[in-house]
Amino acid sequence: MWKKWIMIMFITILAVGWGSVYLATGIVSALAWWGMQAFSIVGFISVIITLCVIVGKLFSRSKIHKTTVTMFILSTAAAWPACWFVGIGQIAYPVNVNSATPKVTIRLPFNETVRVGWGGEQLQTNYHAIEPNQRWAYDFIAPQKEITNSQLEDYGIYGVEVIAPASGTVISVEDSEADLTPGNDNFKSMVGNHIYIRLDETGTYLVLAHLKQGSVKVEVGQHIEEGAVIARVGNSGNSSEPHLHIHHQRQDPSKTSMFLSEGLPLYFRDIDGPSMPKGGNRIEDGRDVPTGEVISPNKK
């Protein structure tokens, strides 16, 4: 009897969880997405247990009950998100860019050419797309295709001025974290030095992360105008190489957990490329080679 109750529990959690991911909106959908990833650990453990039972039955030539087989199938379905942590079977957080609102269109946060390390709608071009709060995030990197040195100054984007991409009010600033050499993961926080901006247009928020230590030129509470120089690109926080991370979200990132935040569409105007430029990379000789679009601000 207890096996049937466990089966009912798995069926209920899978149905309610994935139903909420795909049919609900906003925080409910985002919470369900994270919840199904947490439940995948239970599913993974259950897969191991039921698999051991099945193998034991095969060796003893005993009958394998259909309840055991059904439980193995349900456990496998529940365990699927656990595979995402090793890059297997990943999918983008399933929200439609056309129905997600509000959208914002901003200027490129640079006055020079950069490459889109990650960006766009698809998971293949934007690894952030698996996370609800960073669904349409971008990483901007140096335009060079391949850099193997460990000196920060060898990366063309390191120290480049970051321009305010829209007008708004600064709600959070960090400027004291050290810039780390590529490959050093001894970071203090995930975002590192950052600026969070509440946009005048929509009241939603921009997150700009991994800024250079000591380069932030704005303060909390300050209203900034689009086009102002606000910082420089660095390599602080959880960053594999110098780059600027930027994303748009509904909730205040200084007060709300990433697990309770919704990412929102972010577009760029006045650039020599599509308004939602794509990133991506390929493997060459065992190394990641960026293949994202190289974009520049249009000169007026």
pLDDT at 61: 85
State the Cα–Cα distance between residues 72 and 79, nearest whole angstrom: 10
pLDDT bin (cut points 50, 70, 90) of residue 46 is very high
pLDDT at 148: 63
pLDDT (average), residues 17-39:
97
pLDDT at 179: 96
State the Cα–Cα distance between residues 14 and 38, nearest whole angstrom: 12
Percentage of residues of the chain with pLDDT beyond 70: 98
pLDDT (average), residues 235-241:
94
Angle, alpha carbons 43-49-52 (nearest 5°): 140
For residue 141, report the phi and psi dihedrals to the nearest 5 degrees.
-125, 180
pLDDT at 60: 87
Task: Compute the mean pLDDT over every residue in the chain, rounded to the nearest whole number.
Answer: 94
pLDDT at 223: 98
**Has residue 275 got a pLDDT over 80?**
yes
For residue 174, report the phi and psi dihedrals to the nearest 5 degrees.
-135, 135
pLDDT at 27: 95
pLDDT at 289: 87
For residue 232, report the phi and psi dihedrals to the nearest 5 degrees.
-135, 155
pLDDT at 300: 58
pLDDT at 70: 93
Count, residues in the chain? 300
pLDDT at 158: 95
Neighbours of 88 (CB within 10 A): 9
Among 68-77, 179-188, 237-246, the range scoring the smallest mean pLDDT is 179-188
State the Cα–Cα distance between residues 216 and 209, nearest whole angstrom: 11
Which amino acid is located at 27 in the chain?
A: I
Please compute, for residue 299, the number of CA atoms within 13 A of its CA located in the half-sphere on the CB side. 2
Classify 114 in phi/psi space as left (phi over 0), alpha (psi -120 to 50) or beta.
Answer: beta
For 141-159, write each residue's pLDDT tens digit.
Answer: 998 766 666 789 889 999 9
pLDDT at 209: 98
For 158-192, write each residue's pLDDT tens digit.
Answer: 999 999 999 999 999 999 999 999 878 889 999 99
**Has residue 135 got a pLDDT over 70?**
yes
pLDDT (average), residues 51-70:
90
For 111-124, write each residue's pLDDT tens digit.
Answer: 999 999 999 999 99
Q: Which domains does the chain have, with CATH numbers?
A: 2-86 (no CATH), 104-295 (2.70.70.10)
Helix (H, G, I), strand (E, B) or coil at 235: coil
Which of 95, 128, 105 is CA-nearest to residue 26?
Answer: 95
pLDDT at 185: 85
pLDDT (average), residues 89-105:
96
Report residue 277 as tokens. Answer: 């430029």
Which amino acid is located at 36 in the chain?
A: M
Report residue 240 as tokens. Answer: 């594999």
| Beta carbons of 192 and 174 less than 8 angstroms apart | yes
DSSP state of 271: B
State the Cα–Cα distance between residues 284 and 290, nearest whole angstrom: 10
Which burial class, exposed, middle or buried, applies to 192 when counting CB atoms under 10 A from its CB (0-12, 13-18, 19+)? buried
pTM of the model: 0.92
Which of 41, 45, 42, 19 is CA-nearest to residue 31?
Answer: 19
**Has residue 10 got a pLDDT over 90?**
yes
State the Cα–Cα distance between residues 103 and 134, nearest whole angstrom: 14
Return the bridge partners of 206, or none: 197, 248
Return the bridge partners of 104, or none: 266
pLDDT (average), residues 76-101:
95
pLDDT at 145: 63
State the Cα–Cα distance between residues 269 and 125, nearest whole angstrom: 20
pLDDT at 284: 81
